[in-house]
């Protein structure tokens, strides 16, 4: 490999790493923004969960405290690099779950407030925009997961 | 792959443990909530359904009330 090719490859690797860092920051920021208000006021989040008509009453409060804790841990793993690989897969799982929940509510015509960011944002009925937002976020986490495979292959 | 699964399980276990601890420390959140009325964006709580017997007219054997004005065939 010539020197020019080696330089270009190094530059591409640097760009890719920079892009991955930006993705990590974006996904971790969204997860932190979603977790903080729900951790501060889990009762408000718990009040919104039954509207999905999916969770049994016994699980509502457990989900209301556990889900934001998982979001917080995923964000910290993405930011700190500790348990990074697990954090990426946890982010993928969380985003896939949230996307499925919103899609399911839309498909059934339930006009609920998704509670995605707790009570930090004004309550609005969940809509197609929320679904698109979640699909985009899911795509970002999948890119991070694909990058894990690339790191392993190198 | 095995490392990925191990780290994911560690994070899931930590999240579950911390979540349950958070729930235990919140006196306003019982482990099993009381059943509550459904709340939607359409306007507050859903009204409970009235019993069908209340809406149905009472059965009666009284003769039907006549119409206020006779029809053309009645006039003939």
Taking the CA of residue A6 and the nearest CA in chain B, the distance in Å comes to 30
Residues A43-71: b if buried by 16+ CB within 10 A, e if exposed: ebbbbbbbbbeebeeeebbbbbbbbbbbb
For A73-103, how does the pLDDT look when each residue is reduced to its tens digit (9 = 90+)? Answer: 999 999 998 999 999 999 999 999 999 999 9
Closest residue on chain B to A149 (Cα):
B1
Residues of B in contact with A148 (CB under 8 A): 4
Which DSSP letter does residue B34 get? P
For A98-116, how does the pLDDT look when each residue is reduced to its tens digit (9 = 90+)? Answer: 999 999 999 988 888 888 8
Write down the ipTM of this complex: 0.86
Is A51 in Cβ contact with B38 (below 8 Å)? yes
Closest by CA to A35, choosing from A120, A105, A134, is A120
Q: How many domains does chain A divide into?
A: 1
**In Å, what is the CA distance from B6 to each residue of A86, A90, A145, A150, B9?**
7, 12, 15, 19, 5
Concatenated DSSP letters of A98-144: HHHHHHHHHHTT------TTTTSS------HHHHHHHHHHHHHHHHH
Secondary element (H or E) of residue B39: strand B39-40
- pLDDT values of chain B reduced to their tens digit, one per residue, 76 residues: 789 999 999 999 999 999 999 999 988 888 777 666 555 555 444 444 444 444 445 455 555 555 566 666 655 5
Q: What is the helix, strand, coil percentage profile of chain B, to 5?
A: 40, 5, 55
CB of A86 within 8 Å of a chain B CB? The answer is yes
Task: Give CA–CA dist A141/A3, Å, rounded.
Answer: 34
Instruction: Note down the domain range covering A58.
Output: 3-153
Residues of A in contact with B16 (CB under 8 A): 66, 69
């Amino acid at each position: 490999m010539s020197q020019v090719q080696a330089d270009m490859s190094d530059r591409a690797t640097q760009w890719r790493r920079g892009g991955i860092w930006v993705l990590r920051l974006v996904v971790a920021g969204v997860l932190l923004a979603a977790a903080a208000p729900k951790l501060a006021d889990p009762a408000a989040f718990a009040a919104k969960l039954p509207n999905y008509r999916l969770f049994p009453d016994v699980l509502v409060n457990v989900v209301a405290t556990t889900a934001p804790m998982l979001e917080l841990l995923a964000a910290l793993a993405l930011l700190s690099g500790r348990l990074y690989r697990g954090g990426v897969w946890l982010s993928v799982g969380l985003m896939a779950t949230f996307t499925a929940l919103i899609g399911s509510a839309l498909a059934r015509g339930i006009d609920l407030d998704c509670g995605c960011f707790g009570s930090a944002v004004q309550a609005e009925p969940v809509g197609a925009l929320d679904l698109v937002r979640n699909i985009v976020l899911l795509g970002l986490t999948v890119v991070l997961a694909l990058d894990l495979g690339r790191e392993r292959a190198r | 792959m095995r490392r990925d699964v191990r780290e994911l399980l560690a994070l899931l276990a930590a999240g579950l443990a911390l979540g349950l601890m958070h729930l235990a420390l919140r006196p306003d959140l019982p482990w099993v909530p009381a059943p509550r009325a459904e709340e939607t964006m359409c306007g507050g709580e859903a009204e409970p359904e009235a019993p069908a017997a209340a809406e149905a007219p009472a059965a009666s054997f009284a003769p039907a009330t006549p119409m206020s004005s006779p029809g053309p065939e009645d006039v003939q």
